[in-house]
């Protein structure tokens, strides 16, 4: 296969390496000239994946015309804030019925659109899918066993992408629930910010388990209201992705939250991480969606208060724990 990646951050590079090792001809495109120069010169993403060498069958370029000459599959791997601008930039180069799979996670704050929706809006002649799940680039790049799910509007497209990505170390399931997959992948980053904050405050297993459990409850409530399926939130792109992002030092969202819990201002924590912390933008969008669909999301509200209103993490935790009494699930009858 000829496969083009639009975006050469850690995740795009890791997947490109994996697919190149499977014998595909891979083009790795980036709009950042310094990134292209680094990858071309050293055949290594020194900043994000040090020590992992790009196979010879990966071409690195900043020329989108070259990258999109005639791919069998296009992978959108730019960070979520750049999905729309990248889609606009390449829209005229995309052939009719081109299959595009988005592997980034997020929600556009201004429009509240998922990333697949943005790509479809900017490139209406393409067929767009999503790949998501508990998958850190650092582990995928060195072949650690990983399992993900691909969501698409048709089984044919989902299985096409499944066949390309699946190997003995990277297992891919399929699903028709694009909404659930995108929401789970996006909002888990918000909950991960809270998880990191808890670690920074010095709390341990009980607190983390409570946060993860109540976090998936919030995600699933909103997701079902938007048309997603409960099975998705109990699966790889739901609880699976939430667990790995809330507990791993690979997670930039968790690490940003940790610094905030240690007392650092949110803006300073983001500068320290020096990567796109997608949960920050998603936090605003998730709060707006909760208000639009009239869904109670107290953890999301609390993270917004910490990030944007200057409320201390300790104060937010106290407010969460001292809210009025509730049943765990009001859908259950006595």
The catalytic residues are 188
Place of tokens 């297993």: 205
User: Which sign, positive or negative, has the C-alpha torsion 243, 103, 119, 82?
Assistant: positive
In sequence order, the 6+-apart residues with CB closer than 8 A to the CB of 253 are 189, 190, 192, 193, 196, 245, 277, 278, 279
183/112 Cα distance (integer angstroms): 11
Residues in the chain: 334
Show the DSSP H helices in the chain as ranges.
10-21, 33-42, 64-67, 83-90, 115-122, 137-140, 155-165, 178-201, 205-225, 230-233, 241-247, 252-261, 266-273, 278-292, 298-308, 313-321
104/82 Cα distance (integer angstroms): 10
Q: How many other β-carbons are positioned within 10 Å of the β-carbon of residue 204?
A: 9
191/256 Cα distance (integer angstroms): 12
What is the strand order of the sheet 25-29 is part of?
Answer: 58-61, 25-29, 2-6, 73-76, 99-102, 127-132, 146-151, 170-175
Nearest to 211, CA basis, from 188, 182, 230? 188
59/29 Cα distance (integer angstroms): 8
Name the percent of the chain in helix, strand, coil, to the closest 5. 55, 15, 35
């Amino acid at each position: 296969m000829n496969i083009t990646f639009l975006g050469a951050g850690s995740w795009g590079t890791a997947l490109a390496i994996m697919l190149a090792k499977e014998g595909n001809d891979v083009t790795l495109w980036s709009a950042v000239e310094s990134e292209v120069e680094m990858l071309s010169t050293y055949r290594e993403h020194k900043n994000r994946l040090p020590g992992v060498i790009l196979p010879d069958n990966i071409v690195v370029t900043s020329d989108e015309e070259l990258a999109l000459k005639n791919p069998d599959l296009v992978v959108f791997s730019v960070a979520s804030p750049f999905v729309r601008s990248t889609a606009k930039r390449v829209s005229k180069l995309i052939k009719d019925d081109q299959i595009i799979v988005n592997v980034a996670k997020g929600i556009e704050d201004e429009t509240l659109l998922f990333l697949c929706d943005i790509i479809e809006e900017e490139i209406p002649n393409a067929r767009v899918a999503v790949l998501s799940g508990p998958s850190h680039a650092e582990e995928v790049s060195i072949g650690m066993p990983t399992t993900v799910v691909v969501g698409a509007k048709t089984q044919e497209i989902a299985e096409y992408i499944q066949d390309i990505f699946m190997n003995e170390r990277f297992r891919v399931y399929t699903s028709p629930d694009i909404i659930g997959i995108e929401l789970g992948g996006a909002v888990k980053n918000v909950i991960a910010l809270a998880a990191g904050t808890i670690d920074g405050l010095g709390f341990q297993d009980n607190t983390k388990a409570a946060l993860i459990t109540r976090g998936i409850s919030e995600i699933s409530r909103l997701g079902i209201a938007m048309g997603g399926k409960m099975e998705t939130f109990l699966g790889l792109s739901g609880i699976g992705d939430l667990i790995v992002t809330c507990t791993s030092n690979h997670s930039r969202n968790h690490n940003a939250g940790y610094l905030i819990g240690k007392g650092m201002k949110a803006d300073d924590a983001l500068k320290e991480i020096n990567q796109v912390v997608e949960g920050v933008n998603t936090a605003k969008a998730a709060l707006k969606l909760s208000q639009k669909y009239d869904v109670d999301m107290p953890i999301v509200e609390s993270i917004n208060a910490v990030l944007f209103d200057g409320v201390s993490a300790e104060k937010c935790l106290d407010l969460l724990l001292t809210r009025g009494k509730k049943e765990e699930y009001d859908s259950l009858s006595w």
